[in-house]
Amino acid sequence: MPFIPEILRHRSLSIVGLEKNTGKTVCLNYILNRLNQIGTHVGVTSIGVDGEQVDAVFATAKPEITLFRGTHFITSEKHYLIRQAVSKLVAVDSQRTSLGPLVTAEVLIQGKVLLSGAATTAVLKRQIQTFDRLGVDLSIVDGALSRLSLASPTVTEAMILATGAAVSANVKQLISKTKHLYQFIMLDEVEEPLRSTLGNIESGIWAVDSEGQIHDLGITSVFLIDRSEKDILRYGHTLFAAGAISDRLLKILAAKGKDITLIARDFTKIFVTPEVYTEYTRRGNRLMVLQRSKLIAITLNPTSPQGFLLDSRSTCDALSDALQTPVYDVKKIDQ
Q: What is the pLDDT of residues 263-274, one digit of tens each?
A: 999 999 999 999
14 in a domain, yes or no? Answer: yes
Q: Are residues 182 and 198 in the same domain?
A: no
Position 148 scores a pLDDT of: 72
Nearby residues of 88 by Cβ (< 8 Å), 6 or more positions away: 105, 106, 108
Q: Give the residue-averaged pLDDT of 322-329.
A: 94
Averaged pLDDT of the chain = 89
Q: Are residues 299 and 282 in the same domain?
A: no
Q: What are 166-191's pLDDT values in tens digits?
A: 999 999 999 999 999 999 999 999 99
Q: Which residue in 251, 258, 206 sits closest to 232, CA to CA?
A: 206
Going by pLDDT thresholds of 50, 70 and 90, the confidence category of residue 147 is low
Measured distance CA(189)–CA(290) in Å, rounded: 5
Q: Are residues 245 and 310 in the same domain?
A: no
Q: Which residue in 227, 201, 229, 226 sits closest to 216, CA to CA?
A: 201
What is the per-residue DSSP string for 233-261?
Answer: TTT-SEEEESS-EEHHHHHHHHHH-SS-E
334 in a domain, yes or no? Answer: no
In whole angstroms, what separates CA 262 from the centre of its chain?
A: 21
Going by pLDDT thresholds of 50, 70 and 90, the confidence category of residue 144 is low
Q: Are residues 127 and 243 in the same domain?
A: no
Position 75 scores a pLDDT of: 93
Give helix 274-282 / helix 247-256 axis angle, nearest 10°. Answer: 20
Look up the domain containing 211 and give its range.
194-289
In whole angstroms, what separates CA 44 from the centre of its chain?
A: 15
Q: Which residue in 49, 42, 153 sits closest to 102, CA to CA?
A: 49
Most confident of 115-129, 224-238, 277-291: 277-291
Rounded to 5 degrees, what are φ and ψ at 81?
-70, -20
Q: Are residues 178 and 204 in the same domain?
A: no
Measured distance CA(195)–CA(295) in Å, rounded: 20
Residue 136 has pLDDT above 60, yes or no: yes
Position 58 scores a pLDDT of: 45
Q: Are residues 119 and 241 in the same domain?
A: no
Position 59 scores a pLDDT of: 45
Position 51 scores a pLDDT of: 46
Q: Are residues 159 and 269 in the same domain?
A: no
Position 295 scores a pLDDT of: 95
Report the domain count for the chain: 2
Q: Are 13 and 162 within 8 A, CB to CB?
A: no
Q: Are residues 21 and 76 in the same domain?
A: yes
Q: What are 34-59's pLDDT values in tens digits?
A: 999 999 999 999 886 654 544 544 44
Which of 108-122, 158-172, 240-254, 308-322 has the least mean pLDDT?
A: 108-122
Measured distance CA(130)–CA(32) in Å, rounded: 19
Give the CATH number of the domain where residue 65 resides.
3.40.50
Q: What are 192-220's pLDDT values in tens digits?
A: 999 999 999 999 999 999 999 999 998 88
Say what the pTM is: 0.90
Measured distance CA(24)–CA(167) in Å, rounded: 13
Measured distance CA(315)–CA(135) in Å, rounded: 39
Q: Are residues 60 and 38 in the same domain?
A: yes
Nearby residues of 312 by Cβ (< 8 Å), 6 or more positions away: 300, 302, 329, 331, 332
